[in-house]
Amino acid sequence: MNFVGSHILSVDQFVRADIERVFTVADMMRPYALRQKVTRVLEGAILGNMFFEPSTRTRVSFGCAWNLLGGEVRETTGIKASALAKGESFYDTARVLSGYSDLIVMRHEKSGSVAEFAAASRVPVINGGDGANEHPSQALLDLYTISRELADHGKTVDGMTIALVGDLRYGRAVHSLCKLLAAYQGIHFSLISPEALKLPDAYVELLRNHGHQVFESDALPTGIQQADIVYVTRTQEERFDTLEEAQRYKGIFRLNQAIYTEFCEPNTVIMHPLPRDSRADANELDNDLNDNPNLAIFRQTDNGVLIRMALFALILEVSDQVEASSRAVNWYTAKRF
Ligand code: NCD
């Protein structure tokens, strides 16, 4: 694909070579994310960071990624704080805000809303999550993490076994990840969810049509056996008609150290898009895994900065200028990775 000036709305836009291109640029961004070097390639540029649904890491890491490239961030959080609450259309909001920004990241609860917004925007728009539909930058950072973690154990994405656990119906991170993984070869998918929260048929068919093996079950212990990656998700309570309905599925699957020790391989990598729901009635990923070296959840969040820097650099055509304009940092830098 041609990244320059493009919207990033769906992972459907990427072929495997595009994914690898993002990963190569992400690797190059590591010294900047680690505060070993500074670059100002986006000096003077403004990011419109518009989050109409709750967010911590996606919003802040997009903002940090832009800042680390030298740009400024303008943020809108929550519908109530924007003129959308006064009945303004996506069209008008997009026309207005694209006059103030060089690139916009948007998250909204409605599937397709970011594409509708992008159609009226005069600058590139990245989908930061549109309802239960897609979350492309999350899928890229997840796949980047998977490939790096597997490489540490001499394995590849091609041929791996991945267990996806939890709310596979409404989880947009899982939806985008499945589409990205479809481009790889010979993957064994173990889909573990309650019947009512199964991965929608379209995704299962997509994976099977690409030659992957898909097993569906509602049992965690058997489902996670032999997995190279266990990717746990939160019940997306905000997408259910009622909280009572969501409540039925919370806490059904709980991964903790005892279950990990009994059923996982010694080096099974544990992932989660986060936030993990740590309330007692849910607790899908227990805190007793925090010291497990195979818990990759905070490597995922760190990698999110690299991936988002890479997307910005590719879309705004500065990836070749980053090195040339770099210098060493002159403040104390803590070790992060
Ligand atoms: C995910 C999301 O918002 O889709 N969070 C994230 O962006 N890391 C997953 C979730 O909220 O459960």
- Domain pair 11-134+301-328 / 136-298, same fold: yes
Atom of ligand 1 nearest to the CA of 128: 7
- Asked if residues 282 and 247 have their Cβ atoms less than 8 Å apart, the reply is no
φ, ψ of residue 127 to 5 degrees: the values are -75, 115
Written as one string, the DSSP assignment of 164-221 is EES-TTT-HHHHHHHHHHHTSSSPEEEEE--GGGPPPHHHHHHHHHTT-EEEEES-HH
What's the CATH architecture for 11-134+301-328? 3-Layer(aba) Sandwich (3.40)
Atom of ligand 1 nearest to the CA of 173: 4
Q: For a substitution probing ligand 1, which of 52, 55, 284, 298 has the most ligand atoms within 8 Å of its CB?
A: 55
Whether the model pTM is above 0.85: yes
Distance from C-alpha of 60 to C-alpha of 223, rounded to nearest angstrom: 34
Question: Which pLDDT belongs to residue 84?
Answer: 87
Atom of ligand 1 nearest to the CA of 236: 12
Report how far ligand 1's centroid is from the alpha carbon of 325 (Å). Answer: 34
- Asked if residues 134 and 175 have their Cβ atoms less than 8 Å apart, the reply is yes
Question: Which pLDDT belongs to residue 251?
Answer: 94
Fold of 136-298: Rossmann fold (3.40.50)
How far apart, in Å, are the Cα atoms of 5 and each of 104, 298, 316?
12, 31, 6
Which of these, 240, 236, 238, lies nearest to 172 by C-alpha position? Answer: 236
Q: For a substitution probing ligand 1, which of 11, 52, 135 has the most ligand atoms within 8 Å of its CB?
A: 135
Q: Could you tell me the mean pLDDT of each successive run of 10 residues in the chain, 337 residues long? A: 97 97 98 96 97 94 98 92 89 96 97 97 98 97 98 97 98 98 98 98 98 98 97 97 96 97 97 97 97 98 98 98 92 80
Report how far ligand 1's centroid is from the alpha carbon of 128 (Å). Answer: 10
Q: Per-domain residue ranges for the chain? A: 11-134+301-328, 136-298
Question: Which pLDDT belongs to residue 337?
Answer: 57
